Amino acid sequence: MVNKSKFGTLPVFLTAISTILGAVMFLRFGFAAGSVGFLGTLFIILIGHMVTIPTAMALAEIATNQKVEGGGEYFIISRSFGINIGAAIGIALYMSQAISVAFYIIAFAESFEAIKPWIEANWGYIIYDNRLFSIPALLLLIWLMVKRGADMGVKALYVVVTILAISLVLFFLGSTDYSNTFDSSQLFKNITPEKGFFYVFAIIFPAFTGMTAGVGLSGDLRDPKKAIPLGTLSATIVGMIIYVIIAYKLISSASPANLINDQLIMSKIALWGPIIPIGLAAATISSAIGSFMVAPRTLQAIGGDKVFPNKNANSWIARGTKNSNEPRNATIITSFIALLFVLMGDVNAVAEVISMFFMVTYGALCLISFLQHFAADPSYRPSFKSKWYLSLLGAVMSIYLMFKINTTYALAAIVVMTALYLYISSKSDTNKGMANIFQGVIQQLSRQLQVFLQKSEKANTEEDWRPSVVALSPDSFKRYELLDLMKWLSDRYGFGMYIHFEKAYFSHEYKEIGDQKLNRLIQIISNTHSNIFAETLISPSSTSAIAHIIQLPGISGQPNNMVMFEFKKGETEWLSEVIDNYSLIKTAGHDVCILANSDRGFGYMKDIHIWIKKEDYENANLMILLSYIILGHKDWKGGEIKIFAAFPEAHLEAEQKNLINLCSSGRLPISANNINVISLDESQNKMEMINTYSTDADLTLIGFHESRVKAEGYKIFEGYDKIGNILFVNTLKPKFIK
């Protein structure tokens, strides 16, 4: 049986604090204090912790909501954002952790600067290349980690953290001639650094970023939900306090010039100078150990999720030792990466890229916490809760500081992770990705907006009209013309809800059938890139179905204002059922549109004809507006609208002028040449006239009046056999084209 539960809270704290109080503190913090003064150093600490404290709190929150397994930050991000995004960030995070091992080993070699003069004086040997110290140190560390694993790493941490603590105590107890004459009023003197505040900040910020180091031990903890929050938060807060005290001690013990120019100024201040290089060695080697314990576990978890394209590679990387699941294979890979960069000897440029990847990780963790606060997910019940504004602050500051530190490297980090995401997504079997991140938040935002819109004062429906359509059809999978029409109306200007009608008594069997057809319908809508909201309705009669849909609330937060039906020419069963319920439909106060489908469909989607007759003139503006909206869709690119108006001879000139003015003042894309006013003799058959003029139209809009529906029923929709698809339109109130 694999035992993954060994460690408590202390190893998390020690790993984090030893990384926080690392090489930067000993080698570069004096430079920062001398460059920006005590006040400026406090600002650096404050700004840095505007990222680290929210991140630590976000980590604590997420860790107390879910079981955190091996992989630490990678596990949390991948289980929250999906494997594809988690793996893209995780691979970059792993590389940062692996290269960090080399970075700390190179910094460890810097601690031998103090003994170089002694070696030269006593042995006569001048050491120019610090790799004489760094390479053997790394090889020894590799041997320990491969042979003994995390157990040895944690034991070593106890030793080095003890040395680190002693070195800090002796530093604080030290005194100088400068400290005896120091004027405390100088503490809050504003000092402008030569190369700018953020140049100094970029050098110091990596000192604060070690607080998540202990999270990588998640798979080896007895109780991650307790150890990660307590260990991470306590290390962050203790580290911040220590840095403030160090800043005060440095400023009050040495002149700005000495702080800037002497890299080991702390040894001049300490009660016993040699303890500082020893402490530096302890801090850097402990940071290296921490990174060496964390990086292989991140890689092991990535392999366990089968992220890499090769199955055998995933299996080999994920394999652990029998008794303790130590990531030995992942440790070997990490060793080669660390050795490569140590041999290079200088990773200053890489160090900034490392910071970029860490910042992206911190931003992602804060973003998870922020989104969960707004998603209102009942399954998100952390025992420790951060504040949404702190998580938002951490996410925003992470991105902001990335670009302030180095815009080029920030863009490079984003490009690298985007490329990784696209590559992993192309190879992955899972579709969980970006859409899943914001799903809960979008649902909550949609709810709030709909409630707000419902409470708000409604717009003037005549002047600010836009279609909010609900369509009902029992023949959704026999023909798709109604779906196409809804797609065009819902593309930019309108809102569409399509209801598939199953005529049956509601039962478990028909509920399953309805769900299957809904999924099929959603797939069709998705494939056509439509903005339609779909549903299925199971009802025993057409009357009850129609009564249901005319009472539905609009999906936009505004009420529906139009109901739409369809039928196939020559098939009158469904059409007659709609007409039988026409009085019920009009009760809702909706405009009514009925689409008559022909075998030609919508043809080439080029010509839309609008027929205006004196008996239903009030429908004219609605037909024009609908045509304009349809023509705005890319499917109708290059199409045009033609208006045909049939009036007695005496009114022709006036009606043509009215229509031209209407199109011009309403800025409608209808040329005056496309406005045709036709002389109408009372003896002429209007249906035959429409059949003649609109034979080649791809869509014809014809108005109808309620009085004719009552008098003639569904027969008023028949007889147009020589033309293609027809949209019959009846408006409740005349629309105003402004």
Cβ-contact 284, 167 below 8 angstroms: no
Cβ-contact 525, 570 below 8 angstroms: no
Percent of the chain with pLDDT over 90: 25
Residue 548: pLDDT band by 50, 70, 90 thresholds? very high
What is the residue-averaged pLDDT of the chain? 82
What is the spatial distance between Cα 162 and Cα 218, in angstroms, rounded to a whole number? 23
What is the spatial distance between Cα 12 and Cα 474, in angstroms, rounded to a whole number? 62
Task: Return the higher-pLDDT residue of 78 and 178.
Answer: 178
Long-range contacts of residues 117-126, Cβ cutoff 8 Å, at least 24 apart: none
H or E element at residue 534 = strand 532-539
Q: What is the CA radius of gyration of the chain?
A: 37
Place of tokens 């890299």: 263
Q: Which two tokens stand for residue 267?
A: 């040894």
H or E element at residue 728 = strand 725-730
Q: Tell me: pLDDT of 5 over 50.
A: no
Q: Residue ranges of the domains in the chain? A: 9-436, 468-730
Residues 6+ apart with CB under 8 A from 24: 203, 204, 206, 207
Q: Tell me: pLDDT of 8 over 80.
A: no
What does CATH list as the number for 9-436? 1.20.1740.10
Residues 6+ apart with CB under 8 A from 659: 612, 643, 645, 675, 677
What is the spatial distance between Cα 717 and Cα 728, in angstroms, rounded to a whole number? 8
Regarding beta strands 591-597 and 725-730, do their DSSP bridges make them parallel or antiparallel, or are they unpaired? antiparallel
Q: Of the given ranges (21-25, 45-49, 603-607, 652-656), which has the lowest mean pLDDT? A: 652-656
Residues 301-357: pLDDT tens digits? 898 888 887 888 889 988 887 777 778 889 889 999 888 888 876 555 556 667 777
* Class of domain 468-730 (CATH, top level): alpha beta
The pLDDT of residue 475 is: 93
Task: State the pTM of this model.
Answer: 0.66
**3-class DSSP state for residue 456?**
coil
Task: Return the higher-pLDDT residue of 136 and 538.
Answer: 538
Residue 520: pLDDT band by 50, 70, 90 thresholds? very high
Amino acid identity at 470: V
Residues 249-307: pLDDT tens digits? 999 999 888 988 888 889 889 999 888 888 888 888 877 877 788 888 889 989 888 88
Question: What does the pLDDT average to over 417-427?
Answer: 81
What is the spatial distance between Cα 690 and Cα 644, in angstroms, rounded to a whole number? 9
Task: Return the higher-pLDDT residue of 610 and 15.
Answer: 610
The pLDDT of residue 448 is: 72
The pLDDT of residue 242 is: 93
Residues 6+ apart with CB under 8 A from 283: 18, 21, 22, 23, 25, 26, 160, 164
Q: Tell me: pLDDT of 737 over 90.
A: no
SS3 content of the chain, % helix, strand, coil (to 5): 65, 10, 25
Question: What does the pLDDT average to over 600-627?
Answer: 86
Residue 412: pLDDT band by 50, 70, 90 thresholds? confident
Q: Of the given ranges (68-77, 551-560, 576-585), which has the lowest mean pLDDT? A: 68-77
The pLDDT of residue 295 is: 86
The pLDDT of residue 3 is: 45
What is the spatial distance between Cα 201 and Cα 193, in angstroms, rounded to a whole number? 11
Number of CB atoms found within 10 A of residue 540's CB? 11
Task: Return the higher-pLDDT residue of 454 and 90.
Answer: 90
Cβ-contact 494, 485 below 8 angstroms: no
Cα 164 to Cα 138, 168, 735, distances in angstroms = 20, 6, 79
Q: Of the given ranges (35-39, 140-144, 379-383, 500-504), which has the lowest mean pLDDT? A: 379-383
The edge-to-edge listing of strands for the beta sheet with 675-679 is 532-539, 495-503, 468-473, 562-568, 591-597, 725-730, 699-703, 607-613, 640-647, 675-679
Q: Of the given ranges (408-412, 571-575, 626-630), which has the lowest mean pLDDT? A: 408-412
**3-class DSSP state for residue 684?**
coil
Residues 6+ apart with CB under 8 A from 315: 303
What is the spatial distance between Cα 626 and Cα 726, in angstroms, rounded to a whole number? 13
Q: Tell me: pLDDT of 70 over 50.
A: yes
